[in-house]
Structure 1
């Protein structure tokens, strides 16, 4: 803040045009005043305004500036200043798209301030007299002693000025007391004349001494007025030196800590069992595959201060598989890549050999194997113990760990903040354990076979294949619906019956299909044949169906459903997902044609009624959307 203290004393002497050029409307002087300390602490000169790599750093500085300005606004009791600072904050927010412009502007303003300050100092009498000395060379020891004496004299002058101020106050007080004393002379005639005169003489002597001290102090101050700019510069240097010493001390402490960590890195960096495993592999040269383009050169990145190696076009030429046991498939066989590096450190005679093993890798030959291979990798990464021997993993895990892994995978793949709730996890437990479960299942074991080896009862797919299909459908077609809570998700039919049995006709909810991989269905309350109500499920929509017509348009065209569970009108909830009605008719035609080819049983009925239903979509509910009885 030392620079701002000096420039603020210079601002009243500058013309208005110079001030307007120095502080434009996009960066008012108010920001320079309130954030002076923070602005001068930043390293603006280190920025390369033409470098794209430094844009994130500039963005971070802009956000810090806005946060500090908001703090100033919140602590300012002046309403006028608060409103003005809020307006300035909105102006500074415009730099979000181009933060480098703000960095360039602040850097130029600080340069102009230093230039103006140097010009002012050079025009003072002291700077003109000392200029030749600075050109001739460094200052001599005698000059240093003179400088020390000058600093001591400045401190003495400051003490004298404080004393002068105090004496001046006493003098004013004495003058004020002397006026009423003149009116009291008649009352004091009773006192001895000698005592009165003595008091008067004492008072006059005191006043004379005070005036003499004031005059002497004023003369001393006048002698040092020409050197005032030098004192300000000396104060600025002292402040900067104190800050530099503080930073050096912190840097020294940090350096000692880093060196201590580096010295200990070789001890306990890799667990003993894994280290032995790596040494065994490297010693025996156990190589089960041949890679192409498997070597690369370490490249240094100055901006991130790190080194990296990029393996371009690396591929597997051949692989040697182990003998499989029992029903073990190729997607359950795990491999690993062993990276070795030889690093030469300056000052060391021998090279440093570094080895690191990767997470498990599954080698497949066809895209259809990707789903099962991913299940193998997820099971290993989610449930392996720390510091294990690669790649030992438990055969069974508690249901609580499985829930955490499924929820994490779902949220990361869909890229949503809404995870699976307790009803969804309860439905998944019923699915994987194949029974109606209740109570606390946290410690109930789940085996690898239940996860992705045994098919679900009555289905031709495993639990993981079914769950991954739901993730893929939600990620590609239903992300917005899921994030806004419009999809109930995983729910068993018993739970579905409990929450919908007392709801009026037309109430519906969206749930993931139990019978089809990657499908979503609509469960709704509709009229039964005997005049009552029953819960029905519309045939699931897959990704192919939703690509031809979105879920919002399909919900709009089904008139037998009116309210989303519990009681929200569907048009209010799904209105923003509706598209043009003409586009919807085209999608309906495609959907009906698809059913005509696939469902030959209803081909005659749809052929007769297709033209009439396009003009009356409200009657298409039970024909175009066949109930899902599975």
Structure 2
């Protein structure tokens, strides 16, 4: 019922679209009354075009009609539901008429309704997500506007308080002067009038000072309260930007290491951080000024009022420190599989940009490599740990540059080279490709030539290798860590077991990024069966790191990841086009491939990734074999690997093999692979004095199918049963071949239309070719041949 509850929240065009799929054939009231039941039924498991599923459709129809009848009976006891009951009874009778003999139509209608609802909800959620992002930015900007207003307000009040305090000091000094004069007159017994006048002035000034003091005290209490509110609001906004938005960006950056889409731009974050820096700094300065006013003119606060100025000053300083140090980030991560003595790059950046005069003293940045243990100590604020390294990196120091046009303050290390590495002691059966390091970037940032902060940031985990053959296993470590790392973890802890659903997403992400198209549900089911070696519902099964890339697959010398990675690399390097065009079935085992092909026409083939070898793609085809009871057999060609496809591409190899006629289930190979074939050169080059020969793929001992074999009818061959899970189209069994007499007509003169039955023009050409040259005719003695058996000749008599 969750789907229907979401539907009821739709508005506008989305709701109109949903309403449009309901009508007299299926009233929306039925959907409403039986929402929970409808959403619990396996409608998608019923194929309305498959007659074998009709009984399931009948069961669903009968159950719905029964529920409608029971509901109508229930409503008969409720007076206010009289019209609804009549409508429901009428609909029940209509359903019996419309779907009594056509239960599949009911399935089709319900599936369409549910699919439309789902689509509209997804579109609405996507639009809501886009709006949510825009609304979030607008909300943050509104908070900035509010805080800038409040900061300006405290600045104005602070200035007024300063003026009042200066006036108070002047008046206080005036009172001292009058007091001194009054004392002088008292000593010399001056005129009484003068004493009285001075006494009056003294009392008047004292009254003014008393009022001014109360006003100053009130202003101070009021300002402290406003600064407290500003600090709280700044802390909340800064936490949202740094702990939510910036951490989210870093998480997306980490997933991008596995190939996930990533919006790498930091411009919006820098805009927010710059505004934060300006606000925090202004409040920091104002609190400093207020502290000076308190120091120059101490006034005791009321007993119930706590002096929070020291606390606020410390809080705003910590906000400033956190902002400065947390916005020193790695914009472009170093490669996570780091080969010793190979060059790599990285970019570090401060999101404060030009604010606080940070660019006036350009910071120096140093990059070092640290172990997992050292990284943990650094996160625990062990300053000594930042002096330790686990290797030597060349060209690891540089000065940040300020780009005035963009306002960016950053440094790009373009020629970093890891020369040496010191590894830690092995943990149990951990291999060197499971050991993680990190690149530590450190700098000193000076704010307004006054405050100095040590800033540092750690890269994503890197695995150090010394040879290319370690790359595959290192990639496994990085993939697992990037995908399954929890936020706020200690370096570089990661779960040892994850669900298959989580792992399948981790596998699909890089495959999609590198091979132009991701893995289908069937592909993932096949991969699950391979890693678990059982047929089951795998969604909640746990996969351990050991299963993933430590223990070899059953009966193999390689792990699951090594096998999968080799396929991904082969597809990326040589098979992207055919894979994207769905010409490669790929993830299917040999036995299932044989079952499907044995139900297909001779010459049908499919492309599958090798189970037994790393990084290979094999061609499986069904061909004629008179030694088999069925007269046919499936042949599996030796897998083509990187070295083979480097010499000659897959399209050309498929084109070379005349035994290959139809790409499974029934696509002519010329149509499927035409754009992946290399055009033959009509004008060979003689520049070097040589003509380059063409390499052609052949299958020794396997002849090309004859025309009659191509049109052989697989349904007439008792070779097992058709597999229901075959991806062949539903009309495959209707594709019958010509009968034997039709084949005879192809060899006799007849209407031109008969020649349309030929499958390929090349077959017709080969049929009409004679296997001798014209100059050989003179050597043939026909009379001698006729004289060998004259009695066997019985010619009709011809009268001229």
> What TM-score, normalized by structure 2, do the two folds share?
0.39
Higher helix share: 1
